[in-house]
Amino acid sequence: MMEIENVEKAVEILQNCQEFADLIPEVRSNIVMAKKNAKNVQDVVGIPGRITIAYGKPKVFMKPDFGASSHMARLILSIMEYDPSKRSALNIRYHEKIIEICEKLSLKVSFYDRREEPNHVRKIEGGTIPWGVETAVERIGSVPDVIYHEGDWGKEPSITIIGKDAIDVAKMAVCIAKLCHKLY
């Protein structure tokens, strides 16, 4: 249950940073952490109901649990195919200023363009994520710290922060949030 405790600590870090609320997208954020050698969504801890905003602050209303996020779980499982040490991810809203901050922090940044997604991939439920991860990894030749896409019809643009565990990812998100907050 080390993964649940790690995500709980990460959630505490995020909830204690009011500026993080500015990074939560319309679809809300989720932070996940996979078990070592995770094979499926049930091996990945996430937040049921996601991270939302209440009274201008990041807020989680349920305890982390295994199988709580299929979308982010599938993303981290795809990442782990390239680098099994990267077991955690967090989605935040997209803004070009956030990408600039990530680059200034010397994070490895890559992207994929959902408009370039092949039709045969688009037709498969859940096919976008593995394709997007593969595209972003191939673009820079390694697993990035940050993957983004600028959205598509009916799809909100998004940034994903990737790291070894949820605490590291949360700390990076707080750093980005505090730097972004100074911009607005």
Percent of the chain with pLDDT over 70: 98
Segments forming the whole domain that contains residue 100: 2-181
DSSP string, 23-66: G--TT-B-EEEEPTT--SGGGEEE-TT-BEEETTEEE--S--EE
Place of tokens 């990442």: 79
Is 92 within 8 Å of 24 (Cβ atoms)? yes
Rounded Cα–Cα distance for residues 83 and 112 (Å)? 18
Count of domains observed in the chain: 1
Dihedral (C-alpha) 171, 159, 24, 28: value to the nearest 10 degrees?
A: -120
- Tell me what pLDDT residue 34 has: 98
- Tell me what pLDDT residue 126 has: 81
The helix/strand/coil state of 72 is: helix
Question: Is the pLDDT reported for residue 6 higher than 60?
Answer: yes
CA 70 to centroid of chain Cα atoms: 12
pLDDT digits (tens, 9 = 90+) for 17-76: 999 999 999 999 999 999 999 999 999 999 999 999 999 999 999 999 999 999 999 999
- Tell me what pLDDT residue 115 has: 86
Amino acid in position 47? I
CATH number reported for the structural domain that contains residue 99 in this entry: 3.40.225.10
Task: Name the residue with higher pLDDT: 137 or 121.
Answer: 137
